[in-house]
Amino acid sequence: MVLHVIKSKIYSGAENVVCQIIKELSDREEFIYMSPHGPIEDKLRSIGLYDCYRGIDSLTADEIKKAVDELHPTVVHAHDFTASVLCGFALKGRVPVISHLHNNPPWIKKFHYKTISYLMACKYIDHILMVSDAVKDEFRYTNKLKCPITIVGNPFSVDGVVSQVNKDNVGTDKYKSELLFVGRLVEQKNPMLVAEVAKELISTGKIQVARMVGDGDYFDSLTKYVADNHLEGKLILEGFNKNVYDYMASTKVQIMPSKWEGFGLVALEAMALGKPVVGTSNGGLINIIDDSCGCVCSDVESYVSTITQLLENEPLYKSKSEGALKRAMEYNNIKDYCNTLFDIYNSVR
């Protein structure tokens, strides 16, 4: 049995990955999903995985030890830096630990207590998974890591995305927009830039509605921005939503201006629905967004100009839309990904 350990209580990129792993490998492996109580529980219920959920108040070394003592997993799969450090030091070799790094926050490049803690915890880690070369290249102490490192990308299925769209919702007033942002409202995702871009496009009549789907630290600041700039009903903050694909299927352009990004799954999900993506080339996005399927932008002006051109030039939009679907198909790897992971599980046992 594999115990997945996650610090987050919401549903986002890493959590999506875990759910796909569990669903794809459920006929070959038993899984437990352990994380703090929160919105993730509703998502797990909606996709039929709640039976394998172990809810906790907070992720601590004691909770990890308790789970291992009660469940007797043969592998612990820890997601991102905090869970990896806690699992490493809590278990100290009692059970094989796989550390799965989904992100590349700026501090991984620095002499920092978190980078030092991770390096020390790796003494007790058996295999490291990274979502992109960017994570490996940017981690300050990669050359000091002794255990195997595998660049795995993310599990992705075009059909899996398409199948989750409710066709009755597509294009309805509740979901449609010309511009869409999906992600956590945190510094990494640069949500205030999205608001500034939307304001410029709305004020000049280029778009009627922009939506932001997600919750986080910036929600209150964005709410104030909407009120201060009289954008009510035009820049719509949807908050957390269990299924973002109806919004993606109902928009024209997806925006992803991340300041750092381990992989960039949201971009591929939008592309699977034929939506051009405008965003940065930071981290894993450098391998996803280009002129064939969207555009790399750097500031408010370039985003506004690019989005305007996409919306006003129908042949250009069609070309980018077709390119987006083609790019998504290049990453259509769910079976190969999970087979690789299953082999790694067996290799560390």
Dump pLDDT digits (tens) for 166-184.
Answer: 999 999 999 999 999 999 9
Share of the chain above pLDDT 70, in %: 100
Same-domain status, 86 and 194: no
Give dist(CA 40, CA 52) in Å, integer: 12
Same-domain status, 183 and 311: yes
Can you tell me which residue has the tokens 């999970």?
338
Same-domain status, 205 and 71: no
Q: What is the CATH number of the domain that holds 216?
A: 3.40.50.2000
Same-domain status, 172 and 140: no
Give whole-number Cα distances, 340 to 153, 154, 287, 303, in Å.
11, 12, 21, 38
Same-domain status, 95 and 199: no
The structural domain count of the chain equals 2
Same-domain status, 182 and 313: yes
Q: Residues 188, 259: contact at Cβ < 8 Å?
A: yes
The whole-model pTM stands at 0.87
Give dist(CA 251, CA 24) in Å, integer: 29
Burial 245-281 (b: 16+ CB within 10 A, else e): bbbbbbbbbbbbbbebbbbbbbbbbbbbbbbbbbbbb
Same-domain status, 182 and 320: yes
Same-domain status, 177 and 49: no
Helix (H) or strand (E) holding 69: helix 61-71
Same-domain status, 287 and 308: yes
The whole-angstrom distance between residue 130's C-alpha and the CA centroid of its chain comes to 13
- Host domain of residue 208: 159-330
Contacts 24+ apart (CB under 8 A), 116-123: 117/81, 117/85, 118/81, 118/84, 118/85, 119/144, 119/145, 121/84, 121/85, 121/87, 121/88, 121/89, 122/88, 122/146, 122/147, 123/88
- Under the banding of pLDDT at 50, 70 and 90, the label for residue 243 is confident
Same-domain status, 44 and 169: no
Same-domain status, 133 and 264: no
Instruction: Give me 11's structure tokens.
Output: 């549903």
* pLDDT digit string, tens, across residues 290-334: 999 999 999 999 999 999 999 999 999 999 999 999 999 999 999
Same-domain status, 149 and 182: no
